[in-house]
Structure 1
Amino acid sequence: MPGVTLTDHLFSVPLDHDRPDGEHIEIYAREVVAIGRERERLPWLLFLQGGPGMRSPRPVGRDSWLDRALDDYRVLLLDQRGTGRSSPVTRQTLPARGEPAAQADYLSHFRADSIVRDAELIRRELAGEPWSVLGQSFGGMCTVTYLSFAPEGLREAMITGGLPGLRVTADEVYRATYPRVHRKNTAYYRRYPQDAALVRRIAAHLIERPEPLPDGSLLTVEAFQSLGMMLGTSDGADVLHYLLEDTWAGAELSDSFLARAAAFLSYAQLPLNPLMHELTYAQRGTGATNWAAQRVRGEFPQFDARTALAGDDPVLFTGEMTYPCHFDQPCLAPLRGPAEVLFAREDWPDLYDPQRLAANDVPVAAAVYLDDMYVDATYSLQTAETIGGLRLWATNEYEHDGLRVSSGRVLDHLLRLLHGQI
């Protein structure tokens, strides 16, 4: 590709790292190096993608943050287990594991602790020495897990929008999330006040008559509210506004709107996400997550569209939450059974080791986005104080996708923090 050489790598790793002689799965990673530097002994930079359940970026050259990274590193873009080309989890593959309980047992090995152990096997095979890691969002949470349980594999670590609360439950996460999403709604309607009446009209229509989407699922009012997921990105409010521009064809919702809404709402390309998202907060002693986002939503009646329509309040969009209605999508319907089992499970292992993090001696730099809709900045700042030697950059200059949209500036800032230049 222009400016880069790409190399595919495939690795066989244990499904359960505590049973190395048991079943193995395949992990895919793509090596990226600048043209002309293929034979240089460059340090490795492992990129851990956000999610959970998203495949690694597919580069089209020296684009986005990758352009800055390739000045200093040989980059490895990892498809975390279950995503992309790494033994993917889908409605086609998971039922082959057997009954829902067996499927849930299989999925229990797809959290951050297993991803880190995959990375360590790959590092020893590919690099042979400690490497650098860059974790975005969920990838940042994986990086904190890495620092907790395998810091000997790390030369340095950078985290963007992904410092987790170390002992925070799923319920606590969502109790902090709904008010932040409310603030993003307020900012959206302030920017596009004409959309308030439009959204109320759409919501009223969908309460009376949910509309079929191209994938066969129904656009209910709750599903429509899930479009607020995009409000946490740098251009999300504008994208949502333009999505709503041609909503109506007379008294009917237009085919154009329904098709574009379906593309935003579908989990067909990341079916692992709704299965694993709230399990990101499940650890020893926290109990079952038990559809935490849905339960906690009841504590915030302002997100009930019917209540809003009964008065003069705006209909609020929701955010990055997993709801039972998402499993009405054809791509997720066969996975509802294992989801129920997973969300009822109580005996989860820890993902972080606070004592080990306090004694950390790996150089760490982290960007905390103060207006982040997806990751609570208060919990992130608390965690930043507990990780030994962490250098913090707290900013409201960017939204959660700052790494992607900043043309390398966020990564450059973190590198300069690590190297003592700022």
Structure 2
Amino acid sequence: MTITFRRPGLVCTDHFLDVPLDHAAPDGPSVRVYAREVAAAGKEDADLPWLLFLQGGPGYKANRPGAGSGAWLDRALRDYRVLLLDQRGTGRSTPANRQTLPSDPQEAAACLRHFRADSIVRDAELLRRHLVGDRPWSVLGQSFGGFCAVTYLSFAPEGLREVFITGGLPSLTATPDEWYRASYRRIAAANERYFARYPGDQDVARRIVARLEEADERLPGGERLSAWRFQTVGMDLGHSSRFDDLHYLLEEAFLPDGRLSDTFLHQVGDAVSFATHPLYAVVHEACLGNGMRSGWSADRVLAEFPQFDPHADPFRFLGETIHRRLFEEDPALIPLRECADLIAESEWPALYDAERLAATTVPVAAAVYHDDMYVDRDMSLETAAAIRGIRTWVTSEYAHNGLAADARVLDRLIALVRGEV
């Protein structure tokens, strides 16, 4: 089914394709994947190369044109026909959440074993053949989308014309524990930067924690807000576009009588809920190790970092760390708790092939952000050294959202692949 619509400057076409839930069992159950084709107005009939965009996540739908798609899209449309893929389980693809997954935890966990980068890449290959036949296409991977791009290079390099990666070179060797150990250090550094800019927010955060310990403050979903869950609003500290938003949130935390304001509680409720992206919470750890069990790694490693206790002085926010406690407090995740436990204890196949990466002939360019809170710089550079011919640009000018913030990021990567810089 294809539907085309126009908006100023763009021509968009919807594509749906049924693909196997388990690509190793093509005759078994299927799921539907959705992708939006975008071309610049006046170029919709041109024979342009295709650029597949792989969104960060896991568990997030692709950006919508004109609704936060970011600076990169206009730059891409100068040279490419862009395909925005809602990775399986997200957006307009068959959703994977508490409403749609099997009620039996074992069945739900068995289903969710097919929602990592390996399945996403195989979906993309079916889409490529469906849309462009045997022609290879270009891929742009942001964050987790970059992880998927490295899996693509490992599993199906014949489908690739060139690859661009921003803030998303995964470790090929790190265990989840090693990944989180580095993550907590980066999150601590992000806290240092935040409170250096807003030193008065230390007192506000401590007052909020004290209030949550003594009073029953409820979020819009009806659940009590804990001090620990309040800490998780630090998830966005690694985005330049959202760094200051946390301060503006804290500015309106209290009413004159010392209660937390509805304004604050509603905004916190939106920030800490996984209702719009539950898949992120369920499979996040499973996407970190290259064929390893995670076993609630973020919880295990957190014990090594007592400075993240919500009552510690100074106070620190948490960042991109997924904890079992989320499945006890978030109404969107509570029904998936047993499923998440099974996922955490699962053994996983490898996502990357070091030998194929070392032998690849696909042109690859990657932006590595020097102070990225989400993806470790040193691990990224170690991986870059393992990918044949990759051109790596290390920059401290941008945060993790550099691709969305400035069209020059994609422009630089295209120039690197073309040998222009």
- What TM-score does the superposition give when structure 1 sets the normalisation length? 0.96
How far apart are 1:168 and its partner, in Å?
1.1
Q: SS at 1:386's partner residue?
A: coil
Given that residues 173 and 289 in structure 2 are in contact (C-alpha distance below 8 angstroms), is that contact kept between their aligned partners in structure 1? no
* 1:351 lines up with 2:358 in the alignment: no
Given that residues 70 and 405 in structure 2 are in contact (C-alpha distance below 8 angstroms), is that contact kept between their aligned partners in structure 1? no
Map residues 244-259 of structure 1 onto 2, 5 A cutoff: 244-249=250-255, 250-259=257-266
Q: State the partner residue of 1:273.
A: 280
Which whole-Å deviations, capped at 9, do the CAs of 1:365-399 have from their partners, x for residues lacking one?
A: 00000100000011000000110010000001000
How far apart are 1:24 and its partner, in Å?
0.9
* Structure 1 residue corresponding to 2:60, chosen from 54, 62, 65: 54
Q: SS at 2:63's partner residue?
A: coil
Q: Which whole-Å CA distance do the structure 1 matches of 2:212 and 2:324 have between them?
A: 18
Given that residues 238 and 374 in structure 2 are in contact (C-alpha distance below 8 angstroms), is that contact kept between their aligned partners in structure 1? yes
Map residues 205-284 of structure 1 onto 2, 5 A cutoff: 205-249=211-255, 250-284=257-291
Given that residues 222 and 325 in structure 1 are in contact (C-alpha distance below 8 angstroms), is that contact kept between their aligned partners in structure 2? no
* Structure 2 residue corresponding to 1:162, chosen from 168, 171, 191: 168
Unaligned runs of 5+ in 2: 1-6
Q: State the partner residue of 2:294.
A: 289
Unaligned runs of 5+ in 1: none
Q: State the partner residue of 1:114.
A: 119
Specify whether residues 36 and 235 from structure 1 end up closer, same or farther in structure 2 by C-alpha distance, changes over 3 A only.
closer
* Structure 1 residue corresponding to 2:14, chosen from 8, 16, 37: 8
Q: Which moved more, 1:74-83 or 1:232-241?
A: 232-241
Given that residues 70 and 404 in structure 2 are in contact (C-alpha distance below 8 angstroms), is that contact kept between their aligned partners in structure 1? no
Q: State the partner residue of 1:419.
A: 418
Map residues 142-161 of structure 1 onto 2, 5 A cutoff: 142-161=148-167
Q: State the partner residue of 2:334.
A: 333
How far apart are 1:147 and its partner, in Å?
0.1
How far apart are 1:210 and its partner, in Å?
4.7
How far apart are 1:275 and its partner, in Å?
0.4
How far apart are 1:216 and its partner, in Å?
1.5
**RMSD, matched Cα:** 1.1
Q: State the partner residue of 1:376.
A: 376
How far apart are 1:409 and its partner, in Å?
0.9
Q: Which whole-Å CA distance do the structure 1 matches of 2:303 and 2:216 have between them?
A: 22
Q: Which whole-Å CA distance do the structure 1 matches of 2:269 and 2:325 have between them?
A: 14
How many residues align? The count is 411
Given that residues 216 and 329 in structure 1 are in contact (C-alpha distance below 8 angstroms), is that contact kept between their aligned partners in structure 2? no
Q: State the partner residue of 2:4.
A: none
Q: State the partner residue of 2:47.
A: 41
* Structure 2 residue corresponding to 1:74, chosen from 81, 104, 107: 81
Given that residues 203 and 315 in structure 1 are in contact (C-alpha distance below 8 angstroms), is that contact kept between their aligned partners in structure 2? no
How far apart are 1:236 and its partner, in Å?
2.9
Amino acid at match of 1:67: D
Q: State the partner residue of 1:342.
A: 343
Q: Which whole-Å CA distance do the structure 2 matches of 1:81 and 1:25 have between them?
A: 8
* Structure 1 residue corresponding to 2:188, chosen from 182, 186, 200: 182
Given that residues 267 and 332 in structure 1 are in contact (C-alpha distance below 8 angstroms), is that contact kept between their aligned partners in structure 2? yes
Q: Which whole-Å CA distance do the structure 1 matches of 2:215 and 2:70 have between them?
A: 44
Q: Which whole-Å CA distance do the structure 2 matches of 1:241 and 1:126 have between them?
A: 45
Q: State the partner residue of 1:364.
A: 364
Q: State the partner residue of 2:110.
A: 105
Q: State the partner residue of 2:390.
A: 390
How far apart are 1:235 and its partner, in Å?
3.1
Q: SS at 1:21's partner residue?
A: coil
Q: SS at 1:244's partner residue?
A: helix
Given that residues 177 and 374 in structure 1 are in contact (C-alpha distance below 8 angstroms), is that contact kept between their aligned partners in structure 2? yes
Q: SS at 2:325's partner residue?
A: helix
Q: State the partner residue of 1:30.
A: 36
Q: SS at 1:134's partner residue?
A: strand
Q: State the partner residue of 1:299.
A: 304
Q: SS at 2:385's partner residue?
A: helix
Of all paired residues, the percent bearing the same amino acid is: 56
* 1:191 lines up with 2:197 in the alignment: yes
Q: Which whole-Å CA distance do the structure 2 matches of 1:372 and 1:220 have between them?
A: 28
Specify whether residues 63 and 162 from structure 1 end up closer, same or farther in structure 2 by C-alpha distance, changes over 3 A only.
closer
Specify whether residues 305 and 363 from structure 1 end up closer, same or farther in structure 2 by C-alpha distance, changes over 3 A only.
same
How far apart are 1:63 and its partner, in Å?
5.4
Given that residues 293 and 323 in structure 1 are in contact (C-alpha distance below 8 angstroms), is that contact kept between their aligned partners in structure 2? yes
Given that residues 233 and 400 in structure 1 are in contact (C-alpha distance below 8 angstroms), is that contact kept between their aligned partners in structure 2? yes
Q: Which whole-Å CA distance do the structure 1 matches of 2:283 and 2:9 have between them?
A: 36
Q: State the partner residue of 1:85.
A: 92
Q: Which whole-Å CA distance do the structure 2 matches of 1:133 and 1:222 have between them?
A: 38
